[in-house]
Amino acid sequence: MSESRNTVIVTGIPGVGKTTVINSAIELVKEKHGEDVLLLNFGSEMFEVASAQGTVKNRDELRKLPTATQREIQRNAGESIAQKAKSVRVIVDTHTLIQTDNGYLIGLPEWVVRAIQPKTVVLVEADPENIASRRSSDETRTRDVQIVDEVKTHQEMCRAAAVAVGTITGATVRIIKNREGKVEEAAEALASALME
């Protein structure tokens, strides 16, 4: 019997454009194929848990919590996402590495991805200079400042982390470039990953 997987996990460093590209890809899939995609945002699931506990006021405070607390909230959110991911086509908007004061927290540890069983892990990438300017011009969020060299290292580490998810789950790993002013191009690539 052939297996059937329905979930694409979309990752990439903060401000690279994941949420923007995802929203555009979902519209494309609707327009071209008449199909709905269920969008699950890992940060929103975590924020729901943490704000109910009164530990954070906005989603950008999550990564400032003690790492043990983040892991606990992450486990709850992961279980909730795996439960909800029941549609034909699902996107999980998340991160493979979360920068904390105590190093990178693994966003997709083994116990989270085993439950989700993604068909593909997408890694959205962009030029470090563009990421820095996207972060500073987006006033809706409180993103951390990173120098260009740190952004480069973070992106390289994200490649390794995406491959680790593929190794555990058998998912394919697909890099999608989100070039400046070319959201549509990146969205087309993501739409094709969803329809595969």
User: Would you tell me which residues interact with ligand ATP (CB under 6 A)?
Assistant: 12, 14-20, 134, 138, 141, 143, 178, 180-183
Q: How many other CB atoms are there within 10 angstroms of residue 52's CB atom?
A: 8
d(CA 156, CA 167): 17
Nearer to Mg ion, 5 or 99 (CB): 99
Is residue 74 involved in binding ligand AMP (CB under 6 A)? yes
Residue among 98, 124, 161, 193 that touches ligand AMP (CB under 6 A): 98
Sign of CA dihedral 65, 70, 73, 74: positive
Q: Which residue is nearest to ligand ATP (CB)?
A: 17
Smallest distance, Å, CB 65 to ligand AMP? 8
Q: Are 142 and 30 in contact (CB under 8 A)?
A: no
Q: Are 46 and 74 in contact (CB under 8 A)?
A: yes
Nearer to ligand AMP, 3 or 139 (CB): 139
Concatenated DSSP letters for 131-183?
A: HHHHHHH-TTS-PPP--HHHHHHHHHHHHHHHHHHHHHH--EEEEEE--TT-H
Smallest distance, Å, CB 34 to ligand AMP? 28
Nearer to ligand AMP, 43 or 128 (CB): 43
Antiparallel, parallel or unpaired: β 90-93 and 97-100: unpaired
Applying CB under 6 A, the residues found at the interface with ligand AMP are: 14, 42-43, 46, 59, 62-63, 70, 74, 93-95, 98, 105, 107-108
Applying CB under 5 A, the residues found at the interface with Mg ion are: 18-19
